[in-house]
């Protein structure tokens, strides 16, 4: 289904803001900045991972406190010499309303262990973005991988 793309300049700036938040998601998680990563989401934001579209999620994180705890644990348990790099591309805005945007974003997660990079995961994020007083934030992000 083709995206309903915004026709005016204000909507273009919204698209850029959302793209910047997608980049912030990657950089903050990859650096282990749990608070900044959780702040990409709404206060009650939801992050889920599912093996395929329509399957029950294998991981479900609800709210900024759970998001922060997940990121913090991921980094405290991380093996020495291990780093992550989220590569998000192919951003497709699939629906657009004044305060709610749906998008799909391709993911390649690289893992570097002792200098040797490998692909840790690939998939597609299915996003619902909400306009909030803080700006655009993720309400729901489902990773199918």
Whose structure tokens read 């020495």?
80
Question: Shortest CA distance to 61 belongs to which of 27, 29, 38?
Answer: 38
Between β-strands 41-50 and 82-96, what pairing exists: parallel, antiparallel or unpaired?
unpaired
Architecture of domain 9-144: Roll (3.10)
Domain extents in the chain: 9-144
Q: pLDDT 10s digit of each residue in the chain, 145 long? A: 455 554 566 688 999 999 999 999 999 999 999 999 999 999 999 999 998 888 899 999 999 999 999 999 988 888 888 898 999 999 999 999 989 999 999 999 999 999 999 999 999 999 999 999 999 999 999 999 8
Within 10 Å of residue 54's Cβ, how many Cβ atoms?
7
């Amino acid at each position: 289904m083709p995206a309903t793309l915004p026709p005016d300049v204000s909507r273009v700036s919204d698209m850029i803001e959302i793209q910047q938040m997608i980049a912030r998601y990657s950089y903050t998680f990859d650096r282990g900045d749990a608070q900044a990563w959780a702040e990409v989401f709404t206060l009650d934001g939801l992050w889920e991972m599912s093996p395929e579209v329509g399957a029950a999620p294998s991981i479900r994180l609800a709210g900024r406190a759970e998001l922060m705890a997940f990121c913090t644990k991921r980094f405290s348990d991380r093996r020495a010499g291990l780093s992550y790099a989220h590569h998000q591309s192919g951003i497709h805005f699939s629906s657009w309303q004044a305060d709610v945007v749906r998008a799909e974003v391709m993911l390649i997660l690289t893992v570097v262990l002792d200098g040797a990079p490998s692909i840790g995961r690939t998939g597609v994020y299915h996003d619902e973005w909400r306009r909030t007083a803080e700006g655009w934030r993720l309400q729901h992000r489902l990773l199918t991988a």
